[in-house]
Chains A and B, each alone.
Chain A
Amino acid sequence: MNPRARLSPAALVAVTIGAAIMLAPLLWTILLSLKANSELMRDTASAFSGPYTLENYRAILVGSSVTHWLLNSLIVSLGTTAGVLILCSLAGYGFARLDFPFRRSLFVFVLLGLAIPEQAVILPRHQLFAWLHLHNSYPGLILPGLVAPFGVFFMTQYFRAIPVELDEAAMLDGASRFTLFWKVLLPLTRPAQATLGVFTFLGSWNDYWWPLISATRSARFTLTVGLASAQMNYAQTSGLGFLMAQAVFASLPILIVYIIFQKQIVAAMAGAAVR
């Protein structure tokens, strides 16, 4: 196959139809969100023609819970991302560079975590957090996300790839372990931080099951849980256009992140592939 060659006409048609299937649901959602609720109540086909209005978006910005949920999602996702980057960088450096008892076995112990799915631990974790009174709190939403064995593996690999001569030179200059880590090596891992950071942010932003059972009060809902409750309680009265405007509004931040960080996301995917 020649990677520069043009697609055959048949393949081009197939790919175009596929792309249309990917885009049509998104466009339909946007159209619905731009219609007055009363018109949609009569017939949703009215979404194919004007008049369009931004009224549903105005309703989100003034006096709906959606902006509050957005803020919760931002706090939880940014908190999780910062925590994962700090913990995984520290542990990655430790496993890659420092000599301490049981280092190899502890590393294997962390890798075993890759095989433990969320559903195997979520019920007892829910009990544990209930005993600690952590439900309906930001720490309660952030803490489980900080356990990222893949992040430790990823950062360890990255630190291992940095030549040890750098450490030795810095140590000769009298730098302490921490100065060496903080001033010399950490800046070199910036591409890995970006990849792991975007990956973690996406995962945390879209997390559903844990916030669903941990944040049961509307004041602590993240966007995913808030939208789920809006969807469950949906009745014609609450307004289809308003509901779809919430979906569009909630997708915007993550689509913006996707467009800006497309390269890192692809790199993260490729990184998962070599795992």
Chain B
Amino acid sequence: MTGGRRDRLAGFAFVGPFLALYAFLLIYPLFMGIGLSFHRADLFGARRFVGFENYARAFADPIAWQALWNTFKLTVLIVLPLTAITLALALALNRATRGAAIFRGIFFASSVLSVTIVTLIWRFILTPDAGLVAKIVTTLGGTPPPFLSDPNLTIPALAITTIWWSVGFPMMLFLAGLQQIPADMYEAAALDNAGPWTRLFKITLPSLRRTLILVIMLQTAAQLQLFGQAQLLTAGGPSGASRPVVLLIFEVAFGRWELGYAAALAELLFLLVLSVTFIQYWAVGRAAKEER
């Protein structure tokens, strides 16, 4: 490539606008947030440096632990069924038929809706007086379960709503993974008279390992940050029984305006998400190496 001073200037002119915004709107706030977490900063009153006080408070706060436990339950209740369902869907719909294409379109459609619309729809599926489930259960002679107010049912209700909303993306990832398995592997298996289950466990699933790790890790990182569904559908209630960490951060920051404490909670969650992301990079990289 022809170098020179003009090229260098041109280089900065092309990448400069993005880098400026990137530094100002992502990197600077990232460090601002770390700084904020070491301060007592309320809506009114001066900022005061307090060292690790906000972090100590977080570790001693039963509400924060409750939110973390809720987040953990939500993540498990969403990621495991979602992975199994979308893997099964991808296996069933990895076909070049018109019917399979229509089914794929149906299963992906919910993913393009916003969280507000999804919760609006599911509120009137689950609500015990007017919801669709209630109408069906009552017709069958039962009593509709109070999905949105029973502390044992709110987290499953959020999980079901989220799974319904999220099947499209992991299904597409699995389909993309299936497309990459060489056809001759199956031809060789056919010559060996391998049955469908043998082919599934000896060829398909081992070849999908990288995608499987990717789906589980991406979904885990996403669900650790679940927010809108809980805020809109259950408001984290009853008495915090379905309040995930991000909703707690939101309430502490924009309800109580304790920005320093909210920032400390956000940094702790960030560490958790970051470790999941790094495990993902490491595990996917390792799986890719072993495939070669």
Chain A residues within 8 Å of B, Cβ to Cβ: 1-7, 11, 14-15, 18-19, 21-26, 28-29, 32, 40, 44-45, 87-88, 90-91, 93-95, 97-101, 103, 106, 110, 113, 115-128, 143-144, 146-147, 149, 152, 164, 171, 177-178, 181, 202, 205-206, 208-209, 213, 223-225, 227-228, 231-232, 240, 243-244, 247, 250-251, 254-255, 257-258, 262, 265-266, 269-270, 272-273
Contact = CB atoms under 8 A, between A and B. Distances in A.
Interface string B243-270: 0001001100110000100110011011
B270 A120 contact: yes
14 contacts: A6-B97, A22-B109, A22-B110, A26-B110, A40-B130, A98-B10, A99-B1, A99-B11, A101-B8, A118-B225, A121-B30, A209-B227, A231-B232, A269-B172
Given A117-B273, A254-B113, A87 B11 contact: no
B97 A15 contact: no
B48 to A, nearest CB: 16
B25 A94 contact: no
A216 B10 CA distance: 41
B25 A123 contact: no
B7 interface: yes
B115 interface: yes
A231 B117 CA distance: 9
Given A1-B199, A98-B11, A124-B29, A262 B105 contact: yes
Interface in B4-48: 6-8, 10-15, 17-19, 21-22, 25-30, 32-33, 36
Contact of A227 (B103, B120, B131): B120
Interface string B92-114: 11111100100101111110111
4 closest A-B pairs (Cβ-Cβ)? Answer: A100-B11, A94-B14, A124-B32, A98-B11
Contact of A124 (B3, B33, B167, B273): B33
Interface in B94-152: 94-97, 100, 103, 105-110, 112-117, 119-125, 130-132, 135
Contacts of B26: 113, 116, 121, 147, 149
A244 B232 contact: no
Interface residues of B, number: 95
Nearest to B189: A1
Contacts of A99: 1, 3, 7-8, 11
Contact of A117 (B19, B103, B270): B270
A208 B117 CA distance: 11
A210 B135 CA distance: 36
Contact of B121 (A119, A120, A247, A273): A247
> Chain A: interface secondary structure?
helix
Nearest to A261: B112
A273 B214 contact: yes
A119 B6 CA distance: 40
A100 B278 CA distance: 30
B121 A26 contact: yes
Given A1-B204, A120-B267, A232-B232, A28 B117 contact: no
Given A115-B274, A228-B232, A232-B232, A251 B113 contact: yes
A223 B117 CA distance: 10
B198 to A, nearest CB: 12
B211 to A, nearest CB: 7
A106 B3 contact: no
B192 to A, nearest CB: 15
Contacts of A24: 132
A247 B3 contact: no
A19 B33 contact: no
Nearest to B22: A147
B211 A100 contact: no
B169 interface: yes
B137 to A, nearest CB: 12
A128 B135 contact: no
Task: Pick from B91, B121, B173 the residue with the most CB of A within 10 Å.
Answer: B121
Given A120-B266, A177-B7, A224-B115, A91 B14 contact: yes
Nearest to B186: A1
A98, A144, A164: residue with the most chain B Cβ atoms closer than 10 Å: A98
Given A91-B15, A228-B116, A123 B94 contact: no
A127 B211 CA distance: 39
Contact of A270 (B116, B131, B172): B172
Contacts of B12: 94, 100
Contacts of B107: 18-19, 22
Contacts of B131: 44
B79 interface: no
Contacts of A208: 114-116, 227-228
